[in-house]
Amino acid sequence: MSGPLAGVLVVDLTRVLAGPWCTQILADLGAEVVKIERPGAGDDTRDWGPPFLAGPNGERGDAAYYLGCNRNKRSVELDITKPFGQRAVHELAARADIFVENYKVGGLARYGLDDATLRAANPRLVYCSITGFGQSGPYSHRPGYDFIIQGIGGLMSVTGERDDAPGGGPQKVGVAVADLMTGMYAAVGILAAIAHQQATGQGQHIDASLLDTQVAMLANLNMNYLVSGKVPGRMGNAHQNIVPYQTFATRDGHVIVAAGNDTQFASFSRAVGHPELSADPRFARNSGRVANRETLVPLLERILAAQPTAHWLEALEAVGVPCGPINDVAQVWADPQVRHRGMLVELDHPLAGMLATVASPLRLSETPVSYRSAPPVLGADTQAVLAQRLGWNDREIAALQAESAASAKP
């Protein structure tokens, strides 16, 4: 095993997206991630399809959703409510560097798998809890789902077409960004805690929540409100603070224009054949363009509608104005830059042969990300982990597997 986290053991009691996204990042960086899963069912997302992975004879495998966030992990199938299952997790936690869970607040205490209990036995342990609303506060008992968090945390109030435009109204983002960003923040927190652990030998508890993350990631819109007292609204594909920074309809489609400063706007004006726009005192500076948005944007809409998308991409790229098309997912994977960057990685899978997966965006020059194994089938590593990591004998392993089989019955 290679990577900057080689030799680090992670016990993963997470499922769905935020937690598995976090632990996949750690796994890509070389950590050994042992994913603990419910007997007979496993991670909820194994069944979140279609689409499902198909075998050579049409056998149904895991859902694509599960395959997107569980690479490089080992799957151990056990019941944490039963004696042998609890013993296995306790023994793994005693040897682990990191423990990640996304159960309801206090849910693991009844099994002795809470932060206080496990860190009393292993003071080095970095214990990360991922929940919807955090470990404290009036909402802490509530289950947290990305969609709900996008609403409560303000993202849907600034996403979607303007309220006075056709189709206006609240809109969620197309992927579960609160989940994904929480997983990323949790991974960052874990890496900071590991640095502290290595320096002092002391572990700690990380309290990561979707709501905290969603509030934080409003970024400049938070500060717009805090500075001005004005509540930002939906802007469709336009920008709150920059003009022009939006999509425009062309003769045959759309183009994104992102003129982020006054020099770029001057170049844009020349490229579209209207240099007088950047000389106009109303539009010469970005603050003026934002103040006079309702006047400027209709002018630009008429200009850009006169030519096809390819014409404007060539003209704007030639003068260094940031621009781009709007690709669908198939077009993304055909894009020459995406292909050059190696964002597609194939891994050997026991059901499907070679499985296409999405590469990590991390590029480390000295300790690169490694791609060791496809997302595991349920329980694929139970026997190996118990024997190799815990030293259990055949009788003990058989007892746990019998316990799990009983728990898996309908």
pLDDT for the residue numbered 2? 79
Residue length, the chain? 410
**Domains along the chain?**
9-217+341-408 (3.40.50.10540), 245-328 (3.30.1540.10)
Q: How far is CA 87 from CA 126, 133, 395, in A?
A: 19, 30, 14
Of 39, 47, 40, give the one whose Cα is nearest residue 16.
47
Tokens of residue 43, six digits: 């991670």
Q: Which residues of 259-286 are buried (b: 16+ CB within 10 A; e: fewer)?
A: beebebbbbbbebbeeeebbebeebbeb
Sign of the alpha-carbon torsion through 305, 309, 314, 318: positive
Tokens of residue 153, six digits: 């945390």
pLDDT for the residue numbered 1? 63
- By three-state DSSP, how is residue 261 classified? coil
Number of helical H runs and strand E runs in the chain: 17, 13
* Strand bridging mode 353-358 / 254-258: unpaired
Cα–Cα dist 183/130, whole Å: 8
- H helices present in 77-132, as ranges: 83-95, 115-121
Cis upstream peptide for 368 (omega within 30°): no
- H helices present in 233-308, as ranges: 262-271, 276-279, 286-291, 293-304
Cβ within 8 Å of residue 138, ≥6 positions away: none
- By three-state DSSP, how is residue 151 classified? helix
- The whole-number mean pLDDT for each consecutive block of 10 residues of the chain, a chain of 410 residues, reads 91 98 98 97 96 90 97 97 96 98 95 97 98 96 94 95 84 96 98 98 98 97 95 90 95 95 97 96 97 96 96 96 95 96 96 93 95 96 96 96 89
**Residue of 179, 207, 212, 381 marked active site:** 179
- Amino acid (1-letter code) at residue 363: R
Of 90, 5, 3, 102, give the one whose Cα is nearest residue 44.
102
Q: By the 8 A CB rule, do 203 and 123 touch?
A: yes
Is residue 275 left, alpha or beta, with left meaning phi > 0 and alpha meaning psi from -120 to 50?
alpha
DSSP code string of 293-312: HHHHHHHHHHHHTTS-HHHH
**Residue indicated by tokens 């329980």:** 379
- Active site (annotated) includes residue 381: no
Q: Is 201 exposed, middle or buried (0-12, 13-18, 19+ CB in 10 A)?
A: exposed
Tokens of residue 217, six digits: 């990631």
pLDDT for the residue numbered 80? 96
- By three-state DSSP, how is residue 99 classified? strand
In the β-sheet with 245-249, what is the strand arrangement from edge to edge? Answer: 245-249, 254-258, 323-324
Backbone angles phi, psi at 123, to 5 degrees: -60, -15
Tokens of residue 187, six digits: 């991974």
